[in-house]
Amino acid sequence: MPAISIPIVLFLAPIIVVTTFFGIEVLAGLRPLRKTGGAPNPLTAVIVIPANNEEEVIGRTIAQLRRASGDDYRLLVIADNCSDRTAERASAAGAEVLVRTDPERRGKGYALAAAAESLRSNSPEVVLIIDADCRIDRISLDALTAMASRTGRAAQAVNLLEPQPAGSALVQISTFAFAIKNLVRQRGLQRLARRAHLTGTGMALPWALFSGANLGGSNIVEDLALGLELAHRDAAPALVEGATVWSPPANAEGTLEQRKRWEGGYLATSLRAAPKLFAKSLAKGDLRGLIGALDLSIPPLALLVLVNLLALVGTCVIALLDGPIWPLLVQLASGALAGVALLLAWEREGRRFVSAGTLLRLPLYLLWKLPMYFGLFRRGAPKEWLRSGRQPRT
């Protein structure tokens, strides 16, 4: 192999492998999973709602959850380091409320740890976690509870942002990317490796897992970290196709702030956890673990596209300078697979989130996110529990 090919391979191999697996995972997630049944009775379950300064939405969320759950689910709000009337409005809406004040230890993980401690004296069989601005129906609650109870594993609903056909192109494309990650790729991962990621809301855990998990902490993607911990304990979360939880999307400015949190935290966790998972899975000959490591290595969609564009420019330059042409051909093939998979996913699932005309503005979306990625590269992931500015709910 010519000397020039060695650095080429070292640069291209990770990009091609990850991009190819992305295409395979998306294709595997185009078809819905088999739906599961409802919860067996009698079954005790508590819905835990971590909340930080959510006075504008908490009353509406509690009212919707009470309509969906009836008397079969307890509602427990953790008012975590609030400086507004979140606790009062949650209590007035009919929820149990635990007020937590600890400015030095802020974050959703600490709120969930406080919930676990509070529930120990009268522990439920299943704990569900719903964010303070989300909505979910009774069928979804029962399907999550049944899965967690029946399997002894964590159960994750399909976590989607509400479509915004009148929203800006940036918001629409962001909701589409969210659906690719939380619906299509989650299906693919479940089908290929029989596991899924926890996504922060619409989660159900058997009490034994919830009470024994390392919940307390400042990890800003505590849900991802918890799912990886459970997978390490051979209790990987499962996606429940018959359950959906909806969140309102942020406005353009709020979307960027939320992406800093999610993508920065995801990248930091991925860089730390993926190599360990690769090594462990290779040592054990664990194919599902290897698939999980490959999935964890896929960067956020916009960053994946940007990296592939950079690789394409590099391989074109090499070919034009009389270097080998095979890197360009392999790069094109990998990118084509991912591109076709994305188009099929848009046709199957994405039309409700983004129109074809808006999708053509993807280059603007990439330019919009470039400063964020430069900032993450220089300063690292945000350290605080950020909330995004939300679109008004209709």
Provide the residue-wise pLDDT of the chain in tens; the chain has 394 residues: 455 567 777 788 899 999 999 999 999 999 999 877 666 556 899 999 999 999 999 999 999 999 999 889 999 999 999 999 999 999 999 999 999 999 888 888 889 999 999 999 999 999 999 999 999 999 999 999 999 999 999 999 999 999 988 888 888 988 999 999 999 999 999 999 999 999 989 999 999 999 988 775 655 457 888 888 888 888 899 999 989 999 988 665 656 666 667 777 788 888 888 999 989 999 989 999 999 999 999 998 889 999 999 999 988 988 898 888 888 999 999 999 999 999 999 999 999 999 998 888 888 878 877 777 777 677 665 555 545 444 444 3
| Residue 68 CA: distances (Å) to CA of 123, 162, 340, 343, 389 | 22, 18, 39, 35, 26
pLDDT value at residue 232: 82
Print the domain residue range for 164: 45-171+197-250
Q: Which residue in 179, 266, 164 sits closest to 223, CA to CA?
A: 266
pLDDT value at residue 363: 82
Residue 56 counted as domain residue: yes
pLDDT value at residue 142: 94
Contact 68, 136 (CB under 8 A): yes
pLDDT value at residue 198: 93
**Cα 294 from Cα 14, distance rounded (Å):** 10
Give a three-class secondary structure readout of 361-394. Answer: CHHHHHHHHHHHHHHHHHHCCCCCCCCCCECCCC
Q: Measure CA 235 to chain center.
A: 18
pLDDT value at residue 380: 60
pLDDT value at residue 340: 97
Residue 162 counted as domain residue: yes
Q: Residue 129 forms beta bridges with which residues?
A: 48, 203
**Cα 158 from Cα 182, distance rounded (Å):** 6
Contact 299, 307 (CB under 8 A): yes
Residue with tokens 């967690």: 148
Residue 131 counted as domain residue: yes
pLDDT value at residue 220: 47
pLDDT value at residue 39: 62
**Cα 350 from Cα 213, distance rounded (Å):** 35
Q: How many residues in the chain?
A: 394
Residue 232 counted as domain residue: yes
Residue 278 counted as domain residue: no
Residue 116 counted as domain residue: yes
Give how many domains the chain has, as a whole number: 1
pLDDT value at residue 107: 82
**Stated pTM of the model:** 0.88
Residue 394 counted as domain residue: no
Q: What is the DSSP letter of 165?
A: T
**Cα 87 from Cα 282, distance rounded (Å):** 49
Positive/negative CA dihedral, 376, 377, 378, 383: positive
Q: What is the domain-level CATH number for residue 235? A: 3.90.550.10
